[in-house]
Homo-oligomer: A and B are copies of this chain.
Amino acid sequence: MRDLMTDRIEQWKARGFDPNNCPVRMVLDHVAAKWTSLILLELEKEPQRFNALGRALPDISKRMLTQSLRDLERDGMVRRKVYDTKPPSVEYSLTDVGLSFMAPFSQLLDWAEKNQSQILAARSGYDKS
């Protein structure tokens, strides 16, 4: 793996790597953002409507829910379907791309859960000294 990763970096640099305009970061930004990955997790359970999502993520504001959903929709990871009823109802669901993201993402979550105690230990050790 070492060599593969090394090659990867060399390739990026060869193409004129710019961390502010990086195709990988454009993906990582979803992981980074405060709510997007949680929204994806919720939508993986089942397609849900706007306010249902809001209730599932109790601390999110409508503002951030809207914005996060727009970001995900823009990148083709979430599909927005409007039913022309009254009052309107809007259902959000994962696209195939969004669903395929869950595989590597859940690997990362696994790693996080497995290593969190060690990390917390290292952290408090560091903070004491």
Q: How many copies does the complex hold?
A: 2
Contact across chains for A100 and B111 when beta carbons are under 8 A apart: yes
Contact across chains for B102 and A119 when beta carbons are under 8 A apart: no
Q: Does A88 belong to the interface (CB within 8 Å)?
A: no
Chain A interface helix/strand/loop/mixed: helix
Known: A41-B9, A45-B9, A97-B118. A31 touches B28 (CB 8 A): yes
Contact across chains for A24 and B74 when beta carbons are under 8 A apart: no
Contact across chains for B76 and A97 when beta carbons are under 8 A apart: no
Complex contacts, A112 vs chain B, CB 8 Å: 23-24, 26-28
Contact across chains for B76 and A122 when beta carbons are under 8 A apart: yes
Contact across chains for B5 and A119 when beta carbons are under 8 A apart: no
Q: Identify the A interface with B (CB < 8 A).
A: 1-2, 4-6, 8-9, 18-20, 23-24, 26-28, 31-35, 37-38, 41-42, 44-45, 57, 59, 73-77, 97, 100-113, 115-116, 118-123, 125-127
